[in-house]
Amino acid sequence: MTNTIKNMDELAKASGVSRPTVSKYFHDPDSVRASTRERIEAAIRAHDYRPNIYAINQNRKLTKNVGIVVPHLADPFFAEIARAIEQLCIEAGFSPTMYSSYGDAQQEIEILDSLRSLKPAGVLLAPLGHDSDLKRLEKFCKSVPTVLVDSNIQGLGEAFIGSDNASFVNQTVEYLVRTGEPPLFFEMETPSNPNADHRRETYIAKMDSMGFEPEIVGVPGKGWNFEEIGYRGAHDLLDKGIPKRSILCSNDRLAIGFLSAAYERGLTVGRQPGDTLRLASNDDHPYARFTCPSLTTAAHDYEAVSTHSVRTLVERIEQGSALRTRQETRYPARLVLRNSS
Amino acid sequence: MTNTIKNMDELAKASGVSRPTVSKYFHDPDSVRASTRERIEAAIRAHDYRPNIYAINQNRKLTKNVGIVVPHLADPFFAEIARAIEQLCIEAGFSPTMYSSYGDAQQEIEILDSLRSLKPAGVLLAPLGHDSDLKRLEKFCKSVPTVLVDSNIQGLGEAFIGSDNASFVNQTVEYLVRTGEPPLFFEMETPSNPNADHRRETYIAKMDSMGFEPEIVGVPGKGWNFEEIGYRGAHDLLDKGIPKRSILCSNDRLAIGFLSAAYERGLTVGRQPGDTLRLASNDDHPYARFTCPSLTTAAHDYEAVSTHSVRTLVERIEQGSALRTRQETRYPARLVLRNSS
DNA sequence: TAAAAAATTTAACGCGCGATAAGTTTGACC
DNA sequence: GGTCAAACTTATCGCGCGTTAAATTTTTTA
């Protein structure tokens, strides 16, 4: 008796209203009179009715779906960004779906391809960067309102919202210099993300401007096992002796690997007089508090990036195909002092 | 000229076949003659056509969708399980979608509710456990073929596939006893997962059977910030002096917090003669290799769990509503010896 | 209380595809 | 060359809803 309702027609009859009115109700509950709204809602509750999504989306010009695409969900940084964005999308009345390309450009394209057939209202995309298939990405961005997050690709999408890499590195370099000595820059030889390039460039510029000689160590290794790469790279580096007392890692995951290697070698890392090394990094990874020693790092403004990017996408969706000028927004970092330097 | 094709009718005309044949092709490309298959595929390529998912799913009795629901995607353990399962589902010809309840029972229910309207062929569910709304969960499992993963709930779903908690703890306890002394068990006072209970029970039973007195420390704290909880709990514990030389943590994330606290206190953890503490744990968290010292732990058989659970679900889907007896499968752990004990 | 405005009803079409039945063509085989 | 099954075509219905237009009712406003 409670589950005999299969479609809107029956729901309409059960609640004593016409089907177009019920349809209107689902489109916007406030568009019907309070009295009819209550009748409809009573029937919905009584029969546990939910409209058929597929029938809805087939006929609507625009769905309420949004895609969230990140390079690697197993990376806590992206997991956190994705979580925040997902929540905000729900609050804005959309149905977000999360996708991860797991560092694979081919999969990134496949995700976007299958996303296209979901006719999403919009997409929040944190692209792989260098590895991405730019032509396919560009084609996609032209067919679906897309906002780029975290990693920028020139001219692509409606807008870019991310973190200001220069702010990160300037603060960490400044801090290390002010409280000790100019740092060596420790990074991946072939980073899988454009942000790494900006960090390197900022490091060089900053060192130059302060009158120091930039010194960069690029460790080999591909893929997304950054800790492993940092670990091996640190061992290789330290095999040749300690190059400098201060080290700045391009990102926290490399630093985690570095600290692990340093620990194994019995090197003490920190700002105490007896310590052999000082280490700082960027990102404020969720585990940066729990490394040994805890990691001095520059923190993203997760909340600002996620709220701004969702807000931008929603605005873009609501005002239709209004092509404003593409805006790029970069939020500064917040230096977090811990025990590693 | 290339994008004038909107539906199957036009695609059929463009390729010179009838629409039912095209429909048949999409259902199973091998069900049409090779020559017509080529003609269709040529037209698809030429016009970049993709069938409308919503129209397809509206009419199919069963969709090809499967839901993957985990308690917390930001936890690397679940991120890894979800990734593996997602990949296997794709290979099996399904369209997986990932959902995370982020530790919130209310959200777990909402996910399942919205999942229901996607008419999924099946669901792979790693339930929250204690916190889950069992009645709603039960209702859901009756309406959608569901396979439980990682965390079992008696009688729920078609099957359960997870890890054998007893195997984990038996191995870690045995190892600690054999190479040193019986361990203290370090866990959360109110764990958010039934697996923790099984681990505790196994610890007690194992200690009893070996003739030792079980000793358990339950640290306060709620939520999913296990590292933080372990960190604070360790400090509290160590404030009262070192209770025992061997400590077994219920899971790696607690251990990561513990190691961080121990490091801050200048305690050396390991199996060397001079070390003050030995620490072991369970899960083989992706970062267990990079803690300081690296963590001795019991590893899940990720691959076995994920392949078996996907295979079970696919079988269940393909053989319709064949109600076999519910099976529970638990894979044993693999002890990973590192430097913490 | 009448007129205007808002809400609702009735009727009907379309979306893109699944599915089926009956007739027609194709290709393999002896 | 004839036979027959497999493959294909034509025709047609239905899915559950969006959407629209015109007619009707209800509520608000003057």
pLDDT tens for B192-201 read: 889 999 999 9
Q: Which of residues 53-82 of A touch strand D (CB under 7 A)?
A: 55-56, 58-61
Nearest to A207 by CA among A168, A164, A243, A173: A173
The class level of CATH for A165-299 reads: alpha beta
Instruction: Scan for tokens 């917090």, then name that residue.
Output: B257
pLDDT value for B62: 81
pLDDT on residue B13: 93
The pLDDT of residue B1 is 47
Q: Reply yes or no on whether the pLDDT at A318 is more than 90.
A: no
- Residues of B within 8 A of A293 (CB-CB) are 263-264
Residue type, B289: R
Closest CA to A55 of B227, B59, B143: B59
Quote the pLDDT of residue B179.
Answer: 93
Buried b (16+ CB within 10 A) or exposed e, A251-290: bbbbbbbbbbbbbbeeeebbbeeebebbbbbbbbbbbbbb
- Measured at the alpha carbon of residue B95, what is the angle toward residues B92 and B96, in degrees to the nearest 5? 95
Which residues of A fall below an 8 Å CB-CB distance to B?
50-55, 57-58, 73-74, 76, 79-80, 82-83, 95, 97-98, 100, 102, 113-114, 116-119, 227-228, 231, 256-257, 259-260, 263-264, 286-287, 289-294, 339
Q: What is the pLDDT of residue A1?
A: 47
- Find the nucleotide nearest B12 (Cα to C1′): D9
Residues with CB under 7 A from strand C: A 16-21, 24, 31-33, 35-36, 58-59; B 6-9, 11, 19-20, 23, 26-27, 33, 35, 51-52, 55-56, 58-61
Strands A334-336 and B95-100: unpaired
A208-230 pLDDT tens trace: 999 999 999 999 998 899 999 99
Chain B interface test: which of A90, A292, A306 (most B C-beta within 10 Å): A292
Residue A332's pLDDT is what? 97
Q: A211 in the Ramachandran plot: left (φ > 0), alpha (ψ -120 to 50) or beta?
A: left
Of A27-31, A131-135, A185-189, B245-249, the one with minimum mean pLDDT is A131-135
For residue B90, what is the enclosing H or E element? helix B76-91
Give pTM, 2 decimals.
0.91
pLDDT for A338 equals 96
Say which residues have a Cβ less than 8 Å from residue A132's Cβ, sequence separation at least 6: A105, A108, A153
pLDDT at B323: 60
Provide the 8-state DSSP code for A292.
Answer: S
Q: Do the Cβ atoms of A290 and B256 come within 8 Å?
A: yes
Q: List protein-proximal bases of chain D (any atom < 7 A from a CB).
A: 7-12, 14-21, 27
Other Cβ atoms less than 10 A from the Cβ of A81: the count is 24
Look at residue B248 in the predicted model and tell me its pLDDT. 97
Q: Which option is the CATH number for A8-58: 2.60.40, 1.10.260, 2.60.120, 1.10.10?
A: 1.10.260
- Which of helix, strand or coil describes residue B192? coil
From the CA of A52, how many Å to the C1' of D21?
Answer: 26
Task: Dump pLDDT digits (tens) for A153-169.
Answer: 998 999 999 999 999 99
Q: Where are the domains of chain B?
A: 8-58, 65-164+303-333, 165-299
Tell whether the model's pLDDT for residue B215 goes beyond 90: yes
pLDDT bin (cut points 50, 70, 90) of residue A273 is confident
Confidence of residue A132 (pLDDT cuts 50, 70, 90): confident
pLDDT tens track for B78-135: 999 999 999 999 999 999 999 999 999 999 999 999 999 899 999 999 999 888 889 9
pLDDT at A185 over 80: yes
The mean pLDDT of A21-50, rounded to a whole number, is 93
Per-residue pLDDT at A61:
77
**What's the pLDDT band for A261 if we cut at 50, 70, 90?**
very high
At B204, list the tokens: 């007690």
DSSP symbols for B4-40: ---SHHHHHHHHTS-HHHHHHHHH-GGGS-HHHHHHH
**Does this chain's domain B65-164+303-333 share its CATH topology with B165-299?**
yes
The pLDDT confidence band at residue A243, using thresholds 50, 70 and 90, is confident
pLDDT for res A3: 61
Q: Tens digit of pLDDT for each residue in B4-35?
A: 788 999 999 999 999 999 999 999 999 999 99
The greatest distance separating any two alpha carbons of chain B, rounded to the nearest whole angstrom, comes to 83
How many angstroms separate the CA of residue A216 from the nearest CA in chain B?
23
- Does nucleic acid strand D have an atom less than 7 angstroms from the CB of B35? yes
Which of A 204-233 have CB under 7 A of nucleic chain D?
none
3-class DSSP assignment, residue A328: strand
Cβ contacts (< 8 Å) between A77 and chain B: which residues?
none
- CA–CA gap between residue A217 and residue A215 (Å, rounded): 7
B65-164+303-333: what fold?
Answer: Rossmann fold (3.40.50)
How far is residue A119 CA from its own chain's centroid?
22
Both tokens of A178, joined, read: 């002010």
Strands B122-125, B65-70: pairing is: parallel
**pLDDT beyond 90 at A23:** yes
